[in-house]
Structure 1
Amino acid sequence: MPYSARSALRAVVVAATLTGALALAGCAPTASPSASPTATTGGGAATTKPSATPTPTPTEPATPVTLTCDQIVTADQLYAYNPNFGPNPDYKPKDGSLEKKVADWQGATCSWLNQTSGDVIQIAVAQPPASQLDALKNAAITDAQPVPTYGAPPIEGYFKTGDSGQVQIFRGAFWIVAESTAFFEPGDAAPLMENVLGNLPAG
C-alpha cells in the first residue's frame, strides 16, 4: 500500500478510536454492568491495520563495463596526446566524485599521470541503469556548459571549469566522465574524448 494511503488509514483509525472513546465516556454513567464484550468491536477493528513496513523496490542494475584502460585509451593514442603521460598505479576514485559513482555502477575507472608536470587525467566509463540517465543528463546541463564539438547528436557533451576541467559525455547507454587539471577548456580534452568514443562498442 502506498505511503499516502497508509497515512490516511492511520488517520481514520485514530479518529475512529477517539470518537469511540468519547462516545463511551459520554454514556458511561448509564452503562449496564452486564454490557456485552462485543462493545469492544471498534478496538478489534484496529487490529486489521496493515503493517507500516514498506515493500522494497527492486533496484535496477547497471551494465558492467568490461573494457580495460588500455582499451578505453590505447598506449599509442595516449602517446600521441602527450608522451609524458603514463599509467597512474595508485589511482583510486575519490568518495563523492563522479568517478566513484561510475565505479559503484561497475564501470571502468582509469587514470594517467604526467611524469613531468604531475597533472593527472581521469577517465571513467559506465553504463548506468537506464532509469538514471535522464537525471544524470539534467544534472550535467545544470552544472556545466554544452560542448557540441565532442560529438554530433544524439551524443551530448558538457564541460565544467574549476580546479580541474571536467567533461561529461552521453552516447547511447554510455556515460563518460573525464577530469584533469590539464583540461583548461573543452578543446584540451577533445582528442582524448574522440579516442574514447571511437574505442567504445556500439550501445
Structure 2
Amino acid sequence: MTTIRRTAQIAAALLALAALAGCTSNPVAARPITAAPTAAASTPAVATPTTPPPTQVAADATPVRLKCHTLVPTAVVQNLDPAFTTVKGWEPDAGSPSARLEDLKGTTCAWTTSAGDLLEVSVAKPSAKDATALKDDLVLRSQSVPTFGGEAYFQVVDHVGQADVFRGRTWLFLRSNKFFEPGDASAIVAAALDALGYGPKPTETPTPGATPLPTATATAG
C-alpha cells in the first residue's frame, strides 16, 4: 500500500509540474494582444502652407523706379561685406521672389562677391488688395519682425535669409545668404526705407535766437 500511495503522489506531482510548465512556457502568448496604433492616435504634424504665394495683378501696381545705389548706398552694402559689387543690368531668375517684384514694375537690385555670396534688394508697390493678400500669406509662412517697424517678416529658405517689409502698399524685399537672423538685415532695411521716404522723422530743434518762455516761480505768501 505504501508503494502504491507513493506512486500516486509522484504521479500527482508530475501532473502539477506539467500544468505549471504549460502556463509559463510561452509567456509572450499569455500577454494580451493590443491593437496597432491608428493614424488618428498619432501626433498631428505642424501645419505648413502647401499652396504657392498669392499672385499679384501687375496692371494694378504703381511703378517704382530707383537707381540701385540710391535704394541702398554702396557704403551700406559693403558694411555687410566689403567684397560686394553691383551686378549691372541684373535680371532676376523667372519665378524667383525678386522676379515677382520686377513683374510689378518695381526696382530690383543685386550684389555679389567672387565667392558666390549674394544680396538682392527689390521694391514694388502692388495694389492695396494684393498687398493685403501678401501680408496675410506671410503671417502663415514667415515670422513677424517688430524691430523693422511697420509690418515686416523674416524667414530662412534653403540657407538664405529673406525679409519682407511693408509700408502701406510699398513692398520691400531683401534676400542674402549673409542674413542668418533679422538683425543681419536691419542696416539694409533702414537704408532702403530711408531712400523710399520712410526713414525716421527728424526731431524738432529750437529756432536759433528764440526766447525761451518764462517759467513760473513760487512767491512767499
Do they superpose with TM above 0.5? yes
Match of 1:77 in 2: 76
Cα deviation, residue 110, structure 1: 0.4
How many residues of Structure 1 are paired with residues of Structure 2 in the alignment? 142
Corresponding position of 1:142: 140
- Superposed CA deviations along residues 18-39 of structure 1, whole A, max 9, x for unmatched, are xxxxxxxxxxxxxxxxxxxxxx
| Residue 79 of structure 1: how far off its partner (Å) | 2.7
- In the other structure, the counterpart of 1:38 is none
The one of 169, 176, 190 aligned to 1:173 = 169
CA displacement 1:134-160 (0-9 Å, x = unmatched): 100011111100011111xxx111001
Alignment partner for residue 161 of structure 1, among 156, 165, 176?
Answer: 156
Q: 2:121 maps to what in 1? A: 123
CA distance in 2, matches of 1:194, 1:175: 14
- Partners of 1:89 and 1:60 lie apart in 2 by 27
- The Cα of 1:95 is off from its aligned counterpart by 1.8
Alignment-derived partner of residue 94 in structure 1: 93
Partner SS for 2:60: coil
Write 1 or 2 for the structure with the bigger share of helix.
Answer: 1
What residue ranges of structure 2 are gaps of 5+ in the alignment? 1-56, 199-221
Code of the aligned partner of 2:120: Q
Instruction: Give the deviation of 1:68 after TM superposition.
Output: 1.3
**Does structure 1 residue 66 correspond to structure 2 residue 65?**
yes
* Runs of 5+ consecutive residues of structure 1 not aligned to the other structure: 1-57
Structure 2 CA distance, aligned partners of 1:170 and 1:199? 14
Please report the TM-score for the alignment, with normalisation by the length of structure 2: 0.60
Rg larger in structure: 2
- Name the CA distance, whole Å, in 1 between partners of 2:170 and 2:79: 25
Contact 2:92 2:99 in 1 (8 A): yes
1:92 is displaced (CA, Å) by 2.0
RMSD: 2.1
Query: Residue type matched to 1:141 in 2?
Result: V
2-side partners of 1:109 and 1:132: how far apart?
19
**What is the CA-CA distance between 1:123 and the residue it aligns to?**
0.6
Correspondence for 1:105: 104
SS at match of 2:147: helix
Deviation for aligned residue 1:188: 1.1
Q: Where does residue 196 of structure 1 map in the other structure?
A: 192
Looking at structure 1, the residues matched to 191 and 107 of structure 2 have their Cα atoms a distance apart, in angstroms, of 15
Deviation at 1:62? Answer: 0.7
Instruction: Using the aligned pairs only, state the percent identity.
Output: 36
2:157 partner SS: coil
Amino acid at match of 2:93: K
